[in-house]
Structure 1
Amino acid sequence: MNRTEPVTLTNMCMVTRGTEILVIKRNDPAWPGLTFPGGHVEAHEFFHDSVVRELKEETGLTIKKPKLVGVKQFYDD
């Protein structure tokens, strides 16, 4: 019995300042609209490092202490 399955790990980061929330407008036809900054976790990369990197790449902002507030699992049949 194989107890493993391939997975894709991603992250999203909600950045707030007072009552403002940072979102990104995506122009990708496959997934358009507003979303939080984020992206894929690279091989052998820690979640913490991936969210810091993605936020820097997408917004130019540097964060130091991201806080995990949830996990969501999707199945792609």
Structure 2
Amino acid sequence: MENVELTNMCMIRNQTGQVVVQLRKKKDWPGLTFPGGHVLPNESFHDSVIREVLEETGLTITKPLLCGVKQFQLANGGRYIVLFYHTDSWEGSLKGSSEGEVFWVDPQNFQDYSLAPDFLEMYQVFISDHLSEFFYQKNPDKEWTIQLY
């Protein structure tokens, strides 16, 4: 068995195809990404993504659907897992948090922003019908590579 850190991330889409993004202030992973955060002890994955989205965006989402997973090894030997969700069912008004500013953007305009590292690769899993996993793997030269499955 290994220690696991569980987190989530959610792509919220409106009727025109725009998505909610967060311009993160966090120094260890800055840039444009989707809202999300940690799963708390004794909290379902489903409830955690609803809570995190509300805390970071002011939106109350419903019907979040699991659409993929991201995982990588931590320096301490544990594993970091991000559960990817998407929904087009929400209510409320956008408001940022201490995590960063949030706003609607057309995915075609992602290139106009400073993106979080690996965001575009993660986005491929969010929108794909044939991808479900984003995995950082060490190659024979001990360098990290991204595998999409």
Q: TM-score, normalized by length of structure 1?
A: 0.89
Q: What is the CA distance between 1:72 and its match in structure 2?
A: 2.1
Q: Which residue of 2 aligns with 1:33?
A: 31
Shift of the alpha carbon at 1:32?
Answer: 1.0
Return the alpha-carbon distance in structure 1 between the equivalents of residues 59 and 71 of structure 2: 27
Aligned-residue sequence identity (percent) comes to 59
How far apart are 1:28 and its partner, in Å? 1.7
Instruction: Measure the CA separation in 1 of the matches of 2:28 and 2:67.
Output: 27
Runs of 4+ in 1 over 3 A off after TM superposition: none
Match of 1:5 in 2: 2
Instruction: Work out the CA distance in 2 between the residues paired with 1:76 and 1:8.
Output: 9
- Unpaired runs of 5+ residues, structure 2, are 76-149
For residue 14 of structure 1, give the secondary structure of its aligned residue in structure 2.
strand
Q: What amino acid is the match of 1:35?
A: T
Q: Calculate the aligned-residue CA RMSD, in Å.
A: 1.0
When Rg is computed on C-alpha atoms for both structures, the one with the higher figure is 2
Paired residue type of 1:5: E
Bigger proportion of residues as strand: 2
1:58-73 alignment to 2 at 5 Å? 58-73=56-71
What TM-score comes out, normalization by structure 2 length?
Answer: 0.48
Unaligned runs of 5+ in 1: none
